[in-house]
Amino acid sequence: MFGISQLQVLSLCFRFTKLILILWGIWTTINNGAAALCASECICRNVFDIEIGSTVRVECTRGDMRTIPVDYFDYNIDKVIISAPANRPNYLTIGPIFTQPIPFVNLRELHIINSNVPSIGQYSFWGLRNLRLIKLTDNNLTSINTDNFRGLINLVELHLDYNNIEQMPSETFRHLTALKTLNLSHNQISTLVPRLFRMLAKLTVLDLSDNPLADLNPEVFKDIQHLRIFKCRQCLLRRINTQIYHLVPNLDELDLGENLFKYLTSDEFISLKKLKKLQLDGNQLSVIVDNIFGNNRELRSLTVAHNRLALLAPAALTNLTTLFDLDISHNKIDRFHLQTFGPVVYTLKSINFSGNNLPLNEIAIVLQILPEIQSVGLANMSLQELPPNFFTYNEHLISLDLSWNMISTFPYKLLTKTKYLQKLDLSRNRLKTLGEHDLQRLEAIAHVDLSKNHWLCNQCSASTMIIFMETTVLNSTIRRLKCHSPLKLYGVSFGELRLEHLDQCGSPYEAQLSVIAGLMLLCVAVLATVTTALCCSRRRAAHYYTNEEKRREKTREHEHDHPEELLGQTELGSVATIHAPYHLTTKGS
């Protein structure tokens, strides 16, 4: 009639029925808030899932379990979470309980955590063809084998971390042809037998961290060539056969932190052209050699923190023109080659200098050529103060870490120049008090950490802070601070302080001292006036030189608009003498 074919009517009909079914599902779900059938030690919830309709989720997390109460599980069950608090341990075993007499075909996620499971029986998961995720984290598994995983044709994630697995025979995972993520971290695996990962062609994430591997067999990587993320942190590795990298050329994240690497050759990572994130922290590297990342042009994040680096070679960052985040903290670096930073001048957003022996002027010179920088780490450097113009060239600064230093005066002037700062860590310094201006500046910074300072809790030092605590957004920040002195208030938090209970500030003895101090100031003032008068008479003679000086300063300012020009003058020495706008008298002894 109107051109509606039978097929269209049928399809409309079908859609209508589906809608009714969905509505009915939602309706019944709302009506039975709790499932009809539920074991007493568990909580069961009806949920509605667009894909599979009305299902049940079970959580048994109270502990003290000896068996899994499958008899009380709804046939429609979709997700099971079993775990135990530390003081009420579970002692569970897994057999084919989820598959008999008829398998829970809708089961998609199974989490059995911290339950002292000693082994996985044969065919335990047979028939659970919709199972996507198995998480057996924190149990007592010592070995696993092929038959444990039969029938899991759709399993995508398998987490076996925090167990005691020592042995895995060849082809252990051969039935898991859909597996994408395999977590074997925190076990006792000491060797990877040949063909261990056979049939895992889809694997993209492999975590072997915290196993006493000492060496990686390149052969096993032949079966997992689509790997994207590989982690082997704390694997006792001294070197890596670079053949491995050749086999996994799509790797975009590599974590080799906390191993025993002493050196890396300049062609170490040459095969990893797609690498985006590399973690080499916590090794024993003493140098990052020239051109080492020449082929890793997509690298965005690099950490070499906690090594023994004395040097980043002048061409260490060659070709890293997309590097975003660089962490060189906690090494033994005491100077830089300025040209090292040439390739990253326009992309680097975050740099961490913390815990090195760097004098402030070395850092200042590097910061001058990094105009895009948003995050700077300067923790643990024995700093007593920072010059007010330290971040003049870094107007995008958002995050600043000054923790673990010896700063005793709030760096107000410095912070008035960092307009966009949103995160400031001044914890573990020697601040005693904050004045009104300081607090007003802090109000505009979203995340502030001021803990573990030498807060002085008497009336004149703490009262402004208490007022700000009670009336401003700084409430929770100040409330948690703890008094350092006087002794009787040591460890008491600001939240517990009452203004009227604080000591008066000046004792009579202190008053005397202040009179003496006043007199001395007067003397100094008189002296200064006399000196100025004397100087003025000589000024005229020096007039010509002063003008010359100003002219030179102008040319300097222009140079900063083009950091790469500055880099043209490759010798650090010459640059340092041209750019010395800071009077750095602040490095702690």
Site residues for ligand NAG per CB under 6 A: 116, 118, 140, 142, 164, 291, 294-295, 318-319
Q: Minimal distance in Å, beta carbon 270 to ligand NAG?
A: 8
Residue 577: DSSP 8-state: H
Cβ(140)–Cβ(120) below 8 Å: no
Q: Mark residue 182 as left, alpha or beta (left: phi above 0; alpha: psi -120 to 50; beta: remaining).
A: beta
Tokens 């307009």 belong to residue? 419
**Closest separation in Å from C-beta 321 to ligand NAG:** 9
Residue positions counted in the chain: 589
Question: Parallel, antiparallel, or unpaired for β 253-255 and 77-82?
Answer: unpaired
Pairing, β 53-60 against β 43-49: antiparallel
Read off the DSSP letter of residue 120. Answer: B
Structure tokens at 259: 């191993």
Residue 115 CB, shortest distance to ligand NAG, in Å, is 10
In the complex, minimum distance from the CB of residue 339 to ligand NAG, in angstroms, rounded to a whole number: 14
Where helices occur in 213-277 by DSSP H, the ranges are 243-247
> What are the respective helix, strand and coil percentages of the chain, to the nearest 5?
30, 15, 55
Q: How far is the CB of 580 from ligand NAG (least distance, A)?
A: 32
Structural contact between residues 366 and 340, judged by C-beta atoms closer than 8 angstroms: no
Cβ 477 to ligand NAG, closest distance in Å?
44
Which is nearer to ligand NAG, 291 or 586 (by Cβ)? 291
Task: Please identify, using beta-carbon distances, which residue of 93 and 217 lies nearer to ligand NAG.
Answer: 93
Phi-psi region of 241 (alpha: psi -120 to 50; beta: other; left: phi over 0): beta
Query: Exposed, middle or buried by CB within 10 Å (0-12, 13-18, 19+), for 63?
Result: middle
Nearer to ligand NAG, 291 or 409 (CB): 291
Q: Which is nearer to ligand NAG, 212 or 506 (CB)?
A: 212
Q: Which residues contact 546 (CB under 8 A, 6 or more apart)?
A: none
Q: How far apart are CA 305 and CA 291, in angstroms?
A: 19
Q: Which is nearer to ligand NAG, 107 or 264 (CB)?
A: 264
Residue 48 vs residues 24, 31, 103, 257, 395: alpha-carbon distances, Å:
10, 12, 21, 43, 50
Amino acid sitting at position 584: L
The DSSP code sequence of 460-492 is HHHHHHHHHHHHSTTHHHHHT-B--BSGGGTT-
CA 88 to chain CA centroid, Å, is 32
Nearest distance from C-beta of residue 289 to ligand NAG, angstroms? 11
Closest to ligand NAG by CB, 319 vs 422, is: 319
Shortest distance in whole angstroms from residue 542 CB to ligand NAG: 51
> What's the closest the beta carbon of residue 167 comes to ligand NAG, in angstroms?
12
- Closer of 161 and 223 to ligand NAG (Cβ): 161
User: Which residue is closest to ligand NAG by CB?
Assistant: 294
Contact 209, 235 (CB under 8 A): yes
Max Cα-Cα span within the chain: 110
CB of 170 to ligand NAG, least distance (A): 23
Q: Which is nearer to ligand NAG, 297 or 430 (CB)?
A: 297
Nearer to ligand NAG, 294 or 359 (CB): 294
Q: Which is nearer to ligand NAG, 287 or 578 (CB)?
A: 287
The DSSP element (H or E) to which 374 belongs, if any, is none
Q: How far is the CB of 140 from ligand NAG (least distance, A)?
A: 4
Residues near 6 by beta carbon (within 8 Å), at least 6 away in sequence: none
Adjacent-strand bridge partners of 79: 57, 109
For residue 118, is it left (φ>0), alpha (ψ between -120 and 50) or beta? alpha
Minimum CB distance to ligand NAG smaller for 241 or for 291: 291
Taking the complex as a whole, the smallest distance from the CB of residue 116 to ligand NAG amounts, in Å, to 4
Closer of 140 and 389 to ligand NAG (Cβ) = 140
